[in-house]
Amino acid sequence: MKNLTTGHPLKLIFFFALPLMFGNFLQQLYIMVDTMIVGRFVGVDALASIGGADWINWAILGLLMGFTQGFSIRVSNCLGANDEKGMEKSIAMSYLSCFVIAILVIIFSQIIIEPLLKLLNTPSHTIQGSITYLRIMSGGALIVIFYNCFSSILRAIGDSRTPLIAMLIAACLNVILDLLFVCIFHQGIAGAAIATLISQLFAATFCYFKIRKELPFKIKKESFQIDQKLIYQLIKLGLPLAFQNLIIAFGGIVLQSVVNGFGFLFIAGYTATNKLYGILEVVAISFGYAITTFVSQNYGAKKYQRMKSGVFQANILSVFISIVIMIVILFFGKKVLLLFISTTPKQTQIVLKYAYDYLFTMAVCLPVLYILYSYRSALQGMENTIIPMVSGIVELITRVSAALILPHYMGVYGIYLAEVLAWTAAAIMLYIFYYKDLHQLDKGVM
């Protein structure tokens, strides 16, 4: 375990975030490998099938991740307050809650996947591939939620190194299994999905045993006796984050329905950029996790001035890094995008233009995304998960409105702008409420 309530704030946050950056980079790398292998060895239709499933898949993943992030805030607060008994009980109730949530997600998602894809006007020649991919990925919800639960708990207790090692294991295994299932066994989209789940299962197992080793106590059987009050507290923290991710995903799903109307070549270009987008936000996500853990521990220890200073310093550094990433992407983006595309020369040029124009728009606005993550994460660490959820609603309204209106005047560029306008609206709101909460802390209201 690592205590973040003493020491230089920026140094602690940076070195805590560093393994997370590598881990998140590896995660995005194996997502990209999935896409590259499918696009190269199965074809552009298969790439479009995965693209058509992207936002629904993110909705399921975001729901599961939201709950586990919320649960880990409670664990981190207990660590900051030196409450071992509270930590033990919180971890046990988190495990029980994760199991129930995953079972409900599996049942519900299997029912709605096909009707939802039809509702979104998914092209007829790609819909079956999208259904296959989503049925397999959602069917593995138990693996996904427990992997994220174990990783979140490790981060909450100050260990960002183990999730990195777990992700390295998953990334290497995923590449091997992708090549095996897709290229040798010719399982196509299904093979790529199965490879991802098996990789995450190994990573989850590794994280679980690491938690058992690192905790200064053993989680006893009696800790698993249902504590309704604690479960309520955990759900109160996790549900707004899960709902926030669902709201953002819903906006993406509406956006996907608009994208589907532009044909499969545009879908393929849009998908290629979205896969690369994961690399763009790696540092933002990593600093976000680090800021949440830092703020949460210091909030539990009531070290509010230290918390404020750490967030400010981390925000400056993350924006600087976002500008560096933006410059690199603008110079090398086209070369990377070509790795995803395999079709006729004429179609390749069309898909590449769509993909790069979208990538350029997002790269230029990258600092806004990083500011959004910083303030959202800080509020979450202060146990304010409601405002981040409301910011998700603001993102939804902005993204959907822009996606439905702007393409009538700007064509595909309206879709590109919908994303960055959503970031901007949410970032402004989070900035205002973060400083409002700090002011209340200074007055002793919170």
Q: Give the pLDDT score at 344.
A: 65
- For residue 359, what is the enclosing H or E element? helix 345-364
Q: Alpha helices of 215-263 — where are they, by DSSP H?
A: 228-260
The amino acid occupying position 31 is I
Low-confidence ranges of the chain (pLDDT < 50): none
Assess if residue 364 is contained within a domain: yes
- What lies within 8 Å, CB to CB, of 320 at 6+ separation is none
Assess if residue 309 is contained within a domain: yes
Q: How many residues does the chain have?
A: 446
Assess if residue 1 is contained within a domain: no
Assess if residue 3 is contained within a domain: no
> Between the CA of residue 52 and those of 113, 336, 400, what are the distances in Å?
12, 21, 17
Task: Match 């919180």 to its residue by tokens.
Answer: 90
Pairwise CA distance, residues 21 & 290, whole Å: 10
Q: Give the pLDDT score at 154.
A: 93
For residues 311-323, one letter each, b for 16 or more C-beta atoms within 10 angstroms of the residue's C-beta and e for the rest, the string is: bebbbebbbebbe
Assess if residue 116 is contained within a domain: yes
Assess if residue 111 is contained within a domain: yes
Q: Report the number of distinct structural domains present in the chain.
A: 1
DSSP letter for 138, please: H
The amino acid occupying position 68 is T
Per-state percent for the chain, helix, strand, coil, to nearest 5 = 85, 0, 15
> Which residue range(s) make up the domain with 305?
9-443
Assess if residue 2 is contained within a domain: no
Pairwise CA distance, residues 80 & 284, whole Å: 24
Contact 133, 194 (CB under 8 A): no
Pairwise CA distance, residues 102 & 429, whole Å: 32
Q: What pLDDT, in 10s, does the model give residues 287-340?
A: 888 898 899 888 888 888 999 999 999 999 988 988 998 888 888 877 777 776
Q: Give the pLDDT score at 443.
A: 72
Assess if residue 4 is contained within a domain: no
- What lies within 8 Å, CB to CB, of 200 at 6+ separation is 140, 143, 144, 147, 170
